[in-house]
Amino acid sequence: MKNLILILAAFALLFACKEAKESETAEVIVPDQYTIEQFMDNENAFGNGFSPDKSTVLMTSNRSGIYNMYSTPAVGGELSPVTKSDSASVFGISYFPKDDRILFRMDGNGDEIYKIFMKDGEEIKRLTPAENVRALFRGWSREQNSFFYGSNERDPRFMDHYEMNLEDFSSVMIWQNDEGMNFGGMSPDRKFIALTKSINTNDSDLFIMNMATGEKTKVNDNLSGNVPQDFTADSRYFYYTTDDGAEFSYVMRYNLEDGSKERVLSKDWDVTSYYFSMNDKYQITFSNEDAKTVMVVTEVATGKVVEFPEFENQEISGASFSMDESMALLRVGGSHTPTNSYAYNLETKDLSQLTDVLNDEIEGSHLVSASVVRFSSFDGLEIPAIYYKPHQASAENPVPALVWVHGGPGGQSRQGYNSTIQYLVNHGYAILAVNNRGSSGYGKTFYKMDDRNHGDKDLKDCIAGKDWLKTQEDIDGEKIGILGGSYGGYMTMAALTYAPEEFQVGVNIFGVTNWIRTLKSIPPWWESFKDALYTEMGDPNTEDSIRLRKISPLFHTENVTKPLIVLQGAQDPRVLKVESDEIVEGVKNNGVPVEYVLFEDEGHGFVKKENQIEAYGKIKEFLDKYLKGEGQESMDAAQSEETEATD
């Protein structure tokens, strides 16, 4: 027995020495630090579809500084410019089904009033009305002699359904939306349309409308979240996802002949997309699994799972198929690498990389992979988050950190690439992207937890995230800020207003600061969603306005004591410029450092590279001064001297 103990002890000592040696020799990455110009010179490019002969792929890319269309060989090669706009961004839709004409869309510098255009050789023609009319492409007809689109030309509040003929580009309304419904697709034989009516931000009623009679048949039996997915090519079945009786969305099949339905697929996470290739050869499923996208493709005839190429530490986040179902365009990326486009031949198994979007000046190993973490909030609720730790962070070199809050309400921070996050992490800021209660992706109970509770428990979840960061030995617990855009911008202002000592700085990117005004001024085309939004947030035209005023940071700016930077697009139709104007003015009255970055040619999100460079460069300069550097200490000292003088 004694000998056995000695032998085991020797093995343990040998293993410990080996482990220590491996630890000593393990590569420690000391990253180069890259400029914002270098990070924003990562290209954002994505495929819009194959040409009719599949020799070429239509691409949209921001390589010129704003989005334009390009073409590239389907086997890979150089991107050739198709448009050369230097003002408004151009987004490709598709090649025409039978020739090389192109559909694309543009709006007015971020106002979200989209127009559909055609490019025929050198000629560009606008196909939808110009003045304050919004148009959204909804697909090609199976006959390939027309396309469908939604438009609010008749009534700014409602998107009707139109068909445009490709011979003379005349259009006809084929369904008039008088009830504020949401369009969910039309059967290939044109006999049925899927419609939803929003009840709240999670739940909706689902209907199948008979085009011949106008009769609507309600599909769901109970209050639940229902999302139309796809019709089969033979127009016999309709598929949708629902969370009826479950936490996560699963797939149902509805028989259009007799109205019967059955569950066909469920997972322990939300099924987010379920659709078919043109003639139903392949069925494509995407699910949201712990903030990561998972794709499964099956061959319909056999039920066999189709094998796709594997990409190390990357996921396929999107797939679109050629009309003959022989080719697929794939979007592939990871938290540590930007998304690239590939063309995949399902018959020959040939894979062609169409883009290489990471700037050549950036060493890929210097970027950081995200990890999923969880922590307990104030009431014991487990909160998921996506964590990015700088390579240079250690117990000997603790770094400052930011709690990052997604947009929404109801959004989710995912395990995908974000240039802004990587830029800040590269410069030594840890990022904890908190998926506070009310975030999607973690079940409908979790999703509904912040209804009419914004600025309270969701904020406490973010504070709990900050407290988790403080327990990490490689984080400087005295240097933690909060950053977010849209709803995340609201959370930033809520933190600085209602919990003014919790975070050292705030970064507000076009955040809501006056819920009463925002809810009253939503774009007219949101009419079908307005009642659902009011159900979650409150109706500003009723006594709910009392609570909405209470949770609106604009009316409580006297509480703000920490430095703030605000960024805003003047054309933003969702969060109006006045929101940021007034919050900046209010906080300035406190004598608190406030910086304001305004872009006249941007909307709800910054899409032009020169503006992105300025915006995110300013954020880092602000953080360097007031979070990482001496700015905050200087301000605290000045305030202390002022207090002593007053005393």
| HEC letters along 8-69 | HHHHHHHHHHHHHHHHHHCCCCCCCCCCHHHHHCCCCEEEEEECCCCCEEEEEECCCCCCEE
Structure letter (DSSP) for residue 549? H
| Residue 414, in any domain of the structure | yes
- For 126, other C-beta atoms within 10 Å of its C-beta total 12
Which residues fall within 8 angstroms of residue 318, CB to CB, at 6 or more apart?
46, 329, 330, 331
3-class secondary-structure state, position 364: helix
| Residue 568, in any domain of the structure | yes
Spatial separation of the C-alpha atoms in residues 208 and 539, rounded to whole Å: 30
pLDDT at 630 (0 to 100): 53
3-class secondary-structure state, position 239: strand
Regarding beta strands 261-265 and 327-334, do their DSSP bridges make them parallel or antiparallel, or are they unpaired? unpaired
pLDDT at 634 (0 to 100): 45
Spatial separation of the C-alpha atoms in residues 435 and 457, rounded to whole Å: 12
pLDDT at 451 (0 to 100): 86
* Residues shown for the chain: 647
Spatial separation of the C-alpha atoms in residues 84 and 391, rounded to whole Å: 39
Flag whether pLDDT at 17 surpasses 60. no
pLDDT tens for 414-432 read 999 999 999 999 999 999 9
Structure letter (DSSP) for residue 167? T
Spatial separation of the C-alpha atoms in residues 76 and 66, rounded to whole Å: 23
The CATH code of the domain that includes 575 is: 3.40.50.1820
Regarding beta strands 182-186 and 171-175, do their DSSP bridges make them parallel or antiparallel, or are they unpaired? unpaired
- For 252, other C-beta atoms within 10 Å of its C-beta total 23
State percent of the chain over pLDDT 70. Answer: 93
pLDDT tens for 35-48 read 999 999 999 999 99
Tell me which residue of 193, 225, 230 sits closest to 209, measured CA to CA: 193
pLDDT tens for 436-469 read 999 999 999 999 998 888 899 999 999 999 999 9
Spatial separation of the C-alpha atoms in residues 310 and 332, rounded to whole Å: 10
Confidence of residue 475 (pLDDT cuts 50, 70, 90): very high
Q: How many domains does the chain have?
A: 1
Containing 611, the helix (H) or strand (E) segment is helix 609-623
3-class secondary-structure state, position 95: strand
pLDDT at 505 (0 to 100): 98
Which residues fall within 8 angstroms of residue 52, CB to CB, at 6 or more apart?
95, 96, 97, 98, 99, 100, 323
| Residue 394, in any domain of the structure | yes
| Residue 391, in any domain of the structure | yes
CA-atom Rg of the chain in angstroms? 26
DSSP 465-507: HHHHHHTSTTEEEEEEEEEEETHHHHHHHHHHHHSTTT-S-EE
Q: Residue range 545-568: average pLDDT?
A: 96
Task: Locate 72 and state its tokens.
Answer: 């590239």
pLDDT tens for 205-223 read 999 999 999 999 999 999 9
pLDDT tens for 503-517 read 999 999 999 999 999
| Residue 263, in any domain of the structure | no
Structure letter (DSSP) for residue 448? G
| Residue 476, in any domain of the structure | yes
Spatial separation of the C-alpha atoms in residues 136 and 116, rounded to whole Å: 7
Task: Locate 297 and state its tokens.
Answer: 């493709």
SS3 readout for 624-638: HHHHHCCHHHHHHHH
| Residue 6, in any domain of the structure | no
According to DSSP, the residues that pair with 485 across neighbouring strands are 509
- For 541, other C-beta atoms within 10 Å of its C-beta total 11
* 563: preceding bond cis by omega (within 30 degrees): no
- For 77, other C-beta atoms within 10 Å of its C-beta total 13
pLDDT at 122 (0 to 100): 94
Distances 526 to 35, 273, 512, 523 between C-alpha atoms, Å? 39, 23, 17, 6
Helices (H) and strands (E) in the chain — how many of each?
Answer: 12, 35
| Residue 522, in any domain of the structure | no
Token pair 């995110």 in the structure block, residue = 616
> From start to end of 290-326, where are the E strands?
292-299, 315-321
**HSE of 90, CA atoms in CB hemisphere, 13 A:** 26
Asked which of 70-84, 154-168, 338-352, 445-459 is least confident by mean pLDDT, the reply is: 445-459
pLDDT at 27 (0 to 100): 60
| Structural domain range at position 389 | 368-514+552-644
User: Which segments of 371-456 does DSSP mark as H helices, in order?
Assistant: 419-426, 444-447
Structure letter (DSSP) for residue 517? H
Containing 282, the helix (H) or strand (E) segment is strand 282-289
pLDDT at 44 (0 to 100): 94
